[in-house]
Chains A and B, each alone.
Chain A
Amino acid sequence: MTTILSDLGEFSVTAQTAAQTGDGLWLSSDEAATATGWALQPEGLCRGDVCVPIPSGRETEFVANDTVNLAAFWDHMDKPAAHSSDGDIWALGEGANERADSLRSLQAPDFTLPDLDGKPHSLSDYRGKKVLLATWASW
């Protein structure tokens, strides 16, 4: 099994990774969509209203037999990725440009985190209140 860490959470998928294929992260388009929200469509790889076309002439780097190479897509989309040395864990991050656009829009990015009892809280649960979002650490 391979673990994907994305903005949607942590997912176990069946994938062919670096160990077998060099430097890719190949998995079924269904599993890719579940783990990342990016779904294979005729237009390319799409999430919501955004579609990223597959570069012409390089199709085999990105798609084969209803599997997609998320590592290649992530690189193509200029998003950060990192994987364990065995290739069994991949962190797929969001790009600096998206983050910058998001912050400049002044819409506070939502997140969900647990309290000490494990109960999840989302920032959006507190919509309608003024929020002081304050960080600290024990270290």
Chain B
Amino acid sequence: MWQKLQDDLKDQNFIVIAVAMDSRPDAARPWIEAAAPSYPALIDRDHRVAELYNMVNVPQAVWIDEEGRIVRPAENAGAFEAFRSLNFETMTVPEDKMATAANAKTTYVDAVRDWGMSGTDSVHAFDPGQARDHTAPPSAGMAQAHCHFRLGQYLLRQDRAEEGGEQLAEASRLHPTSWNIWRQAAEVNEMGLAAGPEFWARVNALGDDFYYPPVDMAGMPD
């Protein structure tokens, strides 16, 4: 998804670091091999990056400057929840929603490109005060949840599937707003379950809440 951007910015001291939140590297492999990225594509079995940056879904992204300072904290990387308008009879999404999704993605990628070219002069680069205001620190429950998640992943790698699954379930219970934890746990139970009926029930339970919260960025569609 990011290769064109990386190509466009290759002379701008800019790099994408892609992180797959996948407990099984082989699950991520076909996507990475198809993308053949020139940038690092890393595998995060324990969701360490999600823990460190308090991320709850994919795709999310953080902008980090040349000094290792956060310019934009973790946020939705331009995804729009068009899938919530899926018509289950026709299995189609209305065209206007698809157009909005395409617009949101383009707007986000263009903003990254602008920052890559202009650095702090980009209108999309937060100053430190704005960056702090947009930072969502984790709660004690979320920190505890990541502990259970890490233990669960370790147990799964030791072939202690039942106990590992219990730890992942406990992690999800303690951090119910993390789609990363819930969907990874569902996928461990059975491939495809991360997008199965239980997933849709959880999405529908959001009601008016967002699955992909809108990005606070000039030009982003509502």
B-contacting residues of A (Cβ < 8 Å)? 3, 5, 10, 78-85, 89-96, 99-100, 102-104, 106-109, 111, 113-116, 121, 123-124, 126-139
Specify which of B19, B137, B167 is in contact with A103 (CB 8 Å cutoff).
B137
Say yes or no for B215: interface residue by CB 8 A criterion.
no
B42–A84 touching, CB < 8 Å: no
Known: A84-B163, A121-B40, A129-B15. A135 touches B61 (CB 8 A): yes
Q: How many residues of B contact A (CB 8 A)?
A: 83
B73–A130 touching, CB < 8 Å: no
Say yes or no for B43: interface residue by CB 8 A criterion.
yes
Given contacts A99-B52, A113-B49, A132-B2, 13 further A-B contacts (CB under 8 A): A5-B150, A80-B146, A82-B167, A92-B147, A103-B73, A107-B69, A111-B52, A116-B29, A129-B13, A131-B15, A134-B16, A137-B22, A139-B183
A residues within 8 A CB of B29? 116
Known: A84-B163, A116-B32, A121-B40. A133 touches B144 (CB 8 A): no
Specify which of A3, A80, A100, A136 is in contact with B137 (CB 8 Å cutoff).
A100
Distance of A5 Cα from B148 Cα, bound (Å):
11
B137–A138 touching, CB < 8 Å: no
A residues within 8 A CB of B27? 138-139
Q: Which of B27-61 contact A (CB under 8 A)?
A: 27-29, 31-33, 40-44, 48-55, 58-61
A-contacting residues of B (Cβ < 8 Å)? 1-2, 5, 12-22, 25, 27-29, 31-33, 40-44, 48-55, 58-70, 73, 77, 112, 115-116, 119, 128, 131-132, 135, 137-140, 142-144, 146-148, 150-151, 154-155, 158, 160, 163, 167, 170, 180, 183-184, 186-187, 194-195
A134–B66 touching, CB < 8 Å: no
B137–A96 touching, CB < 8 Å: yes
A96–B140 touching, CB < 8 Å: yes
Specify which of B19, B116, B137, B140 is in contact with A104 (CB 8 Å cutoff).
B137
Q: Which residue of A lies closest to B5 (CB)?
A: A132
B residues within 8 A CB of A139? 22, 27, 183-184, 186-187, 194-195
B148–A111 touching, CB < 8 Å: no
Minimum distance in angstroms from A35 CB to a CB of chain B:
14
Specify which of A10, A129, A133 is in contact with B49 (CB 8 Å cutoff).
A133
A128–B13 touching, CB < 8 Å: yes
